[in-house]
Amino acid sequence: MSYQALARKYRPQSFSDVIGQETVVRTLQNAIEGQRIHHAYLFAGVRGVGKTTAARILAKALNCVKGPTAEPCNECTICREITEGIDMDVREIDAATYTGVDNIRELRDITQFQPARDRNRIFIIDEAHMLSTGAWNALLKILEEPPPHVIFMFATTEINKVPQTIISRVQKELLRKITLDDLIARVRKIVDAEGIEADDRAIEIIARRGEGSVRDSLSLLDQVIAFGGRSISAADVATVLGLSDTTFFARIATLIAEGDHGGILEALDEASETGRDFKMLYRDLLSFMRNLLLVAGRANESMLAVAPEDLPAIRTAAEKFSYSELLRIANLLLRDDETVNRAEHQRLAVEIALLKAATFPRLRAVEQELAGGAAIPQVAAPRPRAAAEPKAAPARREADQAASANATIESFIERVQKARPLIGGYLGAAKSRKRDGNKLLLTFADSFTADQVSNARAALEQIAAEVFGEPMVIEVKTDSPAAGVPAAKSSSPLRDDPVVQAFQKHLGADIVESRKR
Ligand SMILES: Nc1ncnc2c1ncn2[C@@H]1O[C@H](COP(=O)(O)OP(=O)(O)OP(=O)(O)O)[C@@H](O)[C@H]1O
Ligand SMILES: [Mg+2]
Ligand SMILES: [Zn+2]
């Protein structure tokens, strides 16, 4: 028999098996017993805390042959068909792939019919925050005059993206993160049921790493079992985590930078052998790149999403790359984030995304070429703030003076760096920032960076409007290559080096210091 993921195998089938959601469970059961059943529910909470699970159990409790009942029997045909997901009257819809208004119209038509067999026609709409505005409006019309025997159950991780008009018409159930103690008990119970030996320390690390999500803990447990077999220790967990964490991602980033396609496929193959979830791997890789960028950009370390013990490794990894190289890799990976998230074949999607990223110009090769020469130019990372800068080169100082004459531009950039670190990084690289009435003029040395900023213009204008207290228009410009190398600087032999000039032209790089290697 093929291996079934533990999270699926141990999905609770009755309310009594759901952990950590006592309030929600009690509310639902009381409502059923008091015959106060709503026609729309909204289950909200972070990933893997029981939203879909609760919706399915509620559907069974309402439609069970012996129901409506506080606990489904799980034996009647209806209960069994709902568990298997084949009940005609209980439809599960993934909003992520079902966003169009036309589909909702179709849904509205269906709701006009009586249930085929069950007591209620139930629609479980998962990832509800992905629905389009048109879809919500269509749903709103249904909710305003709910047909009898139709019940909607929405599940979402992002309740703030659900329109207020909908929220006011549904019964809200907020699911909480699971406490560490509850997670430990759950993991222990499953380990025992599987007949696997595990020491307490191993269980605790697995529970802790779930960060409140049962699903995340259980998929880590899957990986550890795939790695350690029937008996697992804290060292096994650490090894698996080590594989998945800093070292592994640093290796991937290096392979991308080096354009090593074979190496990338090999690394992903190893990841697959340890039972990794590829969607999560991609998400973790992105968050790893963000951490590197923050470290390289000298951001406040409290902004990093890492455990303190991982920090030294992150710093070491960050040193292996230039800032522009990090920006480039992060940017390439971000472009495929959506695709990977939606992909049915996740491993394939991740492979393609990483190979794609690895085919882009190899900055590392240029640096190595330079290493053969006299010195290596360090690509400048954006400064956290102008005031903190020591004696700057003439061109820089000019920009700084303009900036200090208008301190709000700096507070705007700071705000962006907090809210959107990646875009903030690009913004910080602006060669000049000027305010002209309600216009913000940003000039960049290269079109790559300028494009990134342009793409985020809508979001930036919104932030600018908040900072300046009036509507702002952002204009992005690219310096001509000639202007990118100021005359005053052209005397040093290093500046005359064609490769260095290429760096300046394409990346807006600046020579900070020269080092012998
Ligand atoms: N409260 C819980 N009690 C017991 N097991 C749980 C609980 N929450 C989640 N699980 C486990 O995690 C798996 C996934 O849960 P579920 O699909 O309900 O999460 P979700 O909140 O809908 O997450 P997502 O936002 O990722 O869809 C379940 O199959 C079950 O094994
Ligand atoms: Mg779910
Ligand atoms: Zn039943």
For atom 30 of ligand 1, the residue with the nearest CA is: 11
Distance 68 CA to ligand 3 centre (A): 9
- Do residues 251 and 228 both lie within one domain? no
Residues with beta carbon inside 6 Å of ligand 1? 7-8, 10-12, 18-21, 45, 47-53, 155, 157, 214-215, 218
Domain extent at residue 448 = 386-507
CATH number at residue 398: 3.30.300.180
> By alpha-carbon position, which residue is closest to atom 24 of ligand 1?
47
Whether 281 is covered by a domain: the verdict is yes
Q: How confident is the model at residue 96 (pLDDT cuts 50, 70, 90)?
A: confident
pLDDT of residue 451: 82
In this structure, the residue with its CA closest to atom 25 of ligand 1 is 47
Q: What is the 3-state secondary structure (H, E, C) of 2-38?
A: CCCCHHHHCCCCCHHHCCCCHHHHHHHHHHHHCCCCC
Helical H runs in 276-322? 278-296, 311-319
The pLDDT, as a whole number, for residue 337 is: 87
Q: With 60 as the cut, is the pLDDT of residue 450 above it?
A: yes
Rounded CA gap, 492 and 372, in Å?
A: 18
Cα–ligand 1 centroid distance for 215 (angstroms): 6
Question: 67 CA distance to ligand 3 centroid (A)?
Answer: 7
Q: Atom 4, ligand 1: which residue's CA is nearest?
A: 18
Greatest Cα pair distance in the chain: 89
Q: Is the residue at 447 inside a domain?
A: yes
Q: Which pLDDT score is estimated for 386?
A: 40
Tell me the pLDDT of the chain averaged across its residues. Answer: 81
Domain match, 390 and 415 both: yes
Q: Which pLDDT belongs to residue 184?
A: 97
pLDDT for the residue 200? 92
Condensed to tens digits (0 to 9), the pLDDT of residues 287-324 reads 889 889 888 888 877 777 776 667 777 888 888 888 88
Identify the pLDDT of residue 397. Answer: 42
Give 102's pLDDT tier (boundaries 50, 70, 90): low
What is the whole-number distance in angstroms between the Cα of residue 65 and the centre of ligand 3?
5
Residues 37 and 167 placed together within one structural domain of the fold: yes
Q: Please determine, for residue 197, whether its predicted confidence score (pLDDT) is greater than 90.
A: yes
Same domain, 122 and 256: no
- Asked if 459 contacts 329 with a C-beta cutoff of 8 angstroms, the reply is no
* 163: Cβ contacts below 8 Å, ≥ 6 apart: 133, 136, 140
Model-wide pTM > 0.85: no
Pocket test for ligand 1, best of 41, 52, 124 (most atoms within 8 A of CB): 52
CATH assignment of the domain containing 12: 3.40.50.300
Q: Which ligand is nearest to the CA of 119?
A: 3
Q: What is the pLDDT of residues 403-417, one digit of tens each?
A: 444 558 888 888 888
Nearest ligand to the C-alpha atom of residue 67? 3
Pocket-testing residue among 15, 49, 217, ligand 1, by greatest number of atoms within 8 A of Cβ: 49
Across residues 52-63, what is the average pLDDT?
A: 98
The stretch 103-128 carries a mean pLDDT of 86
Q: How far is the CA of 126 from the centre of ligand 2 (A)?
A: 6
Tell me if 152 is assigned to some domain: yes
Which of 142, 157, 174 is the C-terminal boundary of a domain? 174
| Contacts made by residues 223-231, CB under 8 angstroms, sequence distance 24+ | 223/274, 223/275, 223/276, 225/6, 225/194, 225/196, 225/275, 226/273, 226/274, 226/275, 227/274, 227/275, 230/195, 230/196, 230/197, 231/196, 231/197, 231/198
Q: Kindly state the tokens that stand for 349.
A: 């999607």
Q: Tell which atom from ligand 1 comes closest to the C-alpha of 6.
A: 31
Regarding whether 169 and 62 lie in a shared domain, the answer is yes
Does the pLDDT of residue 181 top 60, yes or no?
A: yes
Among the ranges 88-102, 105-119, 280-294, 369-383, which has the highest mean pLDDT value?
A: 280-294
Give the model confidence (pLDDT) of 261-281 as tens digits: 999 998 898 788 766 788 888
- Range from 165-174, 183-192, 331-340 carrying the lowest mean pLDDT: 331-340
- Both 163 and 70 in a single domain? yes
Calculate the alpha carbon distances from 408 to 185, 404, 405 in Å: 52, 9, 9
Cβ atoms of residues 171 and 60 within 8 Å: no
Considering every ligand atom, which ligand is closest to the CA of 83? 3
How far away, in angstroms, is 185 Cα from ligand 2 center? 22
H helices, E strands: number in the chain: 27, 12
Residue 194's CATH number: 1.10.8.60
Distance 155 CA to ligand 2 centre (A): 7
Does some domain include residue 45? yes
What are the DSSP calls for 52-80, one per residue?
A: HHHHHHHHHHHHSTT-S-SS--S-SHHHH
Count of domains for the chain = 4
| DSSP assignment letter at 327 | H
12 and 145 belong to one structural domain: yes
Do 303 and 221 lie in one domain? The reply is no
| Amino acid (one-letter) located at 76 | C
The C-alpha torsion from 316 through 322 and 324 to 326, rounded to 10°, is: -30
164 domain residue, yes or no: yes
Cα separation, 25 vs 33, whole angstroms: 12
Final residue belonging to a domain, choices 174, 193, 221 = 174
The pLDDT score that the predictor gives to residue 112 is 80
435 compared with 491, residue with greater pLDDT: 435
* Listed residue (404, 253, 443) closest to 330, CA to CA: 253
Cα 472 to ligand 3 centre (Å): 60
Does 379 map to a domain?
no
Tell which wins on pLDDT, 81 or 430.
81
Regarding whether 229 and 136 lie in a shared domain, the answer is: no
Out of 320, 345, 360, a domain closes at 360
pLDDT band of residue 217 (cuts 50, 70, 90) is very high
Residue to probe by mutation, ligand 1, list 6, 8, 9, 11, most atoms within 8 Å of CB = 11
Nearest CA to ligand 1 atom 29: 11
The ligand with the least distance to the CA atom of 182 is: 1
CATH number at residue 347: 1.20.272.10
> Which atom number of ligand 1 is nearest to the Cα of residue 157?
25
Same domain (yes/no): 234, 307: no
- 16 plus 160 within the same structural domain: yes
- Is 373 a domain residue? no
Same domain, 206 and 251: no
Q: Of 91-105, 167-181, 269-283, where does the model show the most confidence?
A: 167-181
User: Is 368 among the domain residues?
Assistant: no
